[in-house]
Every structure is written in structure tokens, then in C-alpha cells.
């Protein structure tokens, strides 16, 4: 029987997902990374496999589009065949709009793509993983699985030029809540993490805009967030430091959740 805990991280090849995968591997989790591609880029020129395996754990990259719902069961079957268990699911994968447009110009193509990945694909992957976790409740010693949704402050904060992204994250926030409610008495805790303005490839096209807003006081802690800031919270949740707090929302936004005059 495999006793090493296993974590799935979607969107793991770069940014927040990459930092989460590295942080969990450092805590002794075998890592299943799901992403569209595992090619490196100039912005993220690292060997994720080597870095994770340097922690003494196993790494399984699975190239997949999570919006392809018919492919979910194949992915899970491959994971269970290889590892026999899933201890943590981190729903991190997400896409930005095809183009930032005013809400009155939002296209159906962009809307369908963003919700297909950020909401629909994530919802049904969670459904499939939760069913698999339930089968192992009571069968594996000290098995206390966790599901973590990475949403965004955009779940609450309006952005008029990326309405589809905000809507997808608001829907994902409710998905976290209903899964937490459904699974609470089964021993599976579900959490939501809401990152603020995080320095990643997704925010790089608007870096100058946010540099200016941060300098003008947008963020109480007066700096960009880093992927590592989000990863630290994931580790705390995965390790059980908040086991009596299922359904909780954890803001990682430098204080942007504070209402100010």
C-alpha cells in the first residue's frame, strides 16, 4: 500500500500552480501535475520534474485540457493505477479572456472558453475526484483528503473589461461552497483561496497598470503578491492546520479584502 500522500495540481507548469506543486513536494507529497503543456518558457525556464524529484517524491505530468470533461475519468484512472490514492486536489488551472473587452463587447467565444476551463471543467473534475476520495475513506489509514479551489478577488471585485473571468471565478467560489457542504460529513474538507494581484504570466500584460495602482495605495500591504504567497496557504490547508474550518475563504491579497474609506 502506498502511504505517501498524493496531490493533484492543475495548471501546474507555471505561476501559482508551479509554486504550489513545488511547495507540496517539499512537504513530502507525490505530485500529479495537469496542464495543457509542459514546455518551458522564457518567463518560467525551470525543470519542474527535477525540482520536485529532488525532494524525494514522485512526479507524474499529465498533459490534458480540463475543459475536456470526457477525459477526466481516464486521468483519474491513470492516477489511481499509478498511486492508489488522491489526498489533495488543488484546482488552480485557469485562463484569461481571449482579449480584454468592455462587458458590452464580450464575445461568446471568449465566454465559453473561460467558463469551460475555469468553472465547468474544474467543477466536473472535482466531482470525479471527490467520488474517488470517498471510496478510500475508511480504507486508508489516517486518510483525510482535501480539495482546494484557487479562485480570485475577481469572484467579488468587478472588472468591466473581463466580465467572463469575474463570472467564472464567482461561480467557482459557489462551487467550493457547495462541495464543502456536500462532503463535510464524509471527512473531506474543501477550501477556497482568493489570490489578489499576483505576479504571474497572466498579469504581465497589465504590469504597468498595477504598478501604478499599487504605488497609489490600492493594496494595503503595498506590494505585488507572489505565487509563493498562495502556495504557503495551500500547504497549511493540506497539512490540516485548518481541519475544523471547511468551507472557509482565505484571501491572499495583501489586505484588498479590507473595506476602506
pLDDT at site 41: 47
Q: Which residues of the chain have pLDDT under 70?
A: 1, 40-45
Q: How far apart are CA 236 and CA 64, in angstroms?
A: 27
**Which position among 29, 143, 165, 210 bears the catalytic label?**
165
Do 223 and 199 meet the contact criterion of CB atoms below 8 Å apart? Answer: no
Q: Quote the pLDDT of residue 37.
A: 86
pTM: 0.95
Question: What is the per-residue pLDDT across 141-170, written as a single tens digit (0 to 9) for each?
Answer: 999 999 999 999 999 999 999 999 999 999
Grid cell for residue 28: 513530502
Which residues have CB under 8 Å from 227's CB, separation 6+?
15, 16, 18, 19, 20, 198, 199, 200
Q: What are the angstrom distances between the C-alpha of 48 and each of 104, 144, 151, 199?
A: 40, 27, 23, 19
> Domains plus CATH for the chain?
6-252 (3.40.50.720)
- Per-residue model confidence (pLDDT) at position 46: 74
Q: Specify the pairing of strand 146-150 against strand 88-91.
A: parallel
H/E stretch holding 194 reads strand 189-195
Is residue 29 flagged as an active site residue? Answer: no
Amino acid at each position: 500500500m502506498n502511504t505517501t500522500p498524493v496531490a493533484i495540481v492543475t495548471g501546474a507548469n507555471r505561476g501559482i500552480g508551479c509554486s504550489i506543486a513545488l511547495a507540496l513536494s517539499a512537504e513530502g507529497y507525490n505530485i500529479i501535475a495537469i496542464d495543457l503543456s509542459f514546455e518551458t518558457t522564457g518567463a518560467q525556464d525551470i525543470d519542474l520534474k527535477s525540482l520536485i524529484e529532488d525532494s524525494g517524491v514522485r512526479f507524474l505530468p499529465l498533459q490534458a485540457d480540463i475543459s475536456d470533461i470526457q477525459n477526466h475519468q481516464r486521468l483519474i484512472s491513470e492516477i489511481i493505477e499509478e498511486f492508489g490514492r488522491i489526498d489533495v486536489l488543488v484546482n488552480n488551472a485557469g485562463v484569461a479572456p481571449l482579449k480584454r473587452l468592455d462587458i458590452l463587447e464580450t464575445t461568446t467565444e471568449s465566454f465559453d472558453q473561460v467558463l469551460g476551463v475555469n468553472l465547468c471543467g474544474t467543477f466536473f473534475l472535482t466531482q470525479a475526484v471527490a467520488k474517488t476520495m470517498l471510496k478510500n475513506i475508511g480504507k486508508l489509514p489516517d486518510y483525510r483528503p482535501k480539495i482546494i479551489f484557487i479562485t480570485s478577488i475577481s469572484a467579488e471585485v468587478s472588472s468591466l473589461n473581463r466580465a467572463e473571468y469575474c463570472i467564472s471565478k464567482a461561480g467557482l467560489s459557489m462551487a467550493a461552497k457547495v462541495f464543502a457542504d456536500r462532503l463535510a460529513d464524509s471527512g473531506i474538507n474543501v477550501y477556497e483561496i482568493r489570490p489578489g494581484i499576483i505576479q504571474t504570466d497572466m498579469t504581465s500584460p497589465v504590469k504597468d497598470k498595477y504598478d501604478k495602482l499599487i504605488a497609489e495605495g490600492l493594496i494595503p500591504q503595498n506590494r505585488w503578491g507572489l505565487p509563493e504567497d498562495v502556495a504557503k496557504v495551500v500547504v497549511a490547508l493540506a497539512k490540516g492546520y485548518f481541519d475544523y474550518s471547511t468551507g472557509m475563504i482565505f484571501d491572499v491579497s495583501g489586505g484588498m479584502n479590507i473595506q476602506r474609506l
